[in-house]
Amino acid sequence: MPNITYSKLLDPVSDIISLMESMMRGEFGATSGDQRECFKRIHAYCWGLHTLVMDVITSLGIEHTATRPAVRERFNALNDPVKLTLGNLAAGFDGALNDEQRDIVDYAIDTVRSIEQMMTNIWHYSLLQHNMLEPASDEFDGAVLMQRMKSILENMKLEEPPPRFLVIGDETLLTHAFAELAQNVRRHSGVNTVSIITQDFGYRVDFKILDRGKGFRLPDKETAFLPFWQSGAGNPGLGLGLHLAKAFIECSGGKIAINSVPRRGTLLKVSLDTVP
């Protein structure tokens, strides 16, 4: 069984269940009938998510998740209505929320996104464990990788990419890898500025992702890429982001390296093949 703190999977779901119970009781202000129905719907679906996560942890095992496609189908069938209902509440479709209620709904939205990311990473980790990935070898516009990072680092300063270049590799996997790198910076750097420098050499492109944030002590250059490894206790996430990013980058023929110094920041370097 992987070395993982299972509370990181269960606690977020439990938090939403408790919050929806409080909202239904009107503890954060009066609610309309439509709003209460939304809270009930979210509450019910989240209990389903809680049961699913328990099944994955206790009977199936995280490393075997992808061997049961029904797990992903069941997760989406439970998670998608929660996201939709929370989005409707935030938009005021079921009535106006007071400030405290809006804060709770916004927190629930962020929490659901985090749960979705963790379950997606568990799925990808399981695919790797069972050699079930079939990477494509396509040519695609490398700008989509920068755009994916910018969508996650929306409040951070980024440098613009160079003129258009064509990357060789699996667009879906590489896009996910770059999203995980961005999430890593967002969650752990502790700063709101990041430099992303791209260098096009005609046959390959290098991405250097530098933050001058907290950094961490790195025993060696490969430790950070181990599955479930985290730099400190209490860190968010499951510790799979860098592991999956490395795997997806390497299966597309690329390379990734990391260096980090406590209180001085972290540098990630990614090299990908391009069309000359």
Whether the CB-CB separation of 32 and 16 falls below 8 Å is answered with: no
Yes or no: say if 65 and 126 are a contact pair by the CB < 8 Å rule. yes
| Confidence check: pLDDT of 73 > 70 | yes
SS (H, E, C) the chain: CCCCCCHHHHHHHHHHHHHHHHHHCCCCCCCCHHHHHHHHHHHHHHHHHHHHHHHHHHHHCHHHHHHCHHHHHHHHHHHHHHHHHHHHHHHCCCCCCCHHHHHHHHHHHHHHHHHHHHHHHHHHHHHHHCCCCCCCCEEEECHHHHHHHHHHCCCCECCCCCCCCEEEECHHHHHHHHHHHHHHHHHHCCCCEEEEEEEECCCEEEEEEEECCCCCCCCCCCHHHCCCCCCCCCCCCCCCHHHHHHHHHHHCCCEEEEEEECCCEEEEEEEEEECC
pLDDT digits (tens, 9 = 90+) for 136-187: 999 999 989 988 998 888 877 766 555 678 999 999 999 999 999 999 998 8
98-135, pLDDT tens digit by residue? 999 999 999 999 999 999 999 999 999 999 999 999 99
- Residue 99, token pair as written in the block: 């400030």
On the question of a common fold for 7-129 and 138-273, the answer reads: no
Q: Domain residues of the chain, as ranges?
A: 7-129, 138-273
Task: Considering only residues 124 and 216, tell me which one the structure prediction assigns the higher pLDDT.
Answer: 124
Domain spanning 138-273 has what CATH number?
Answer: 3.30.565.10
Answer whether CATH 1.20.1440 is correct for domain 7-129: yes
Report the pLDDT value the prediction gives residue 208, as an integer from 0 to 100: 93
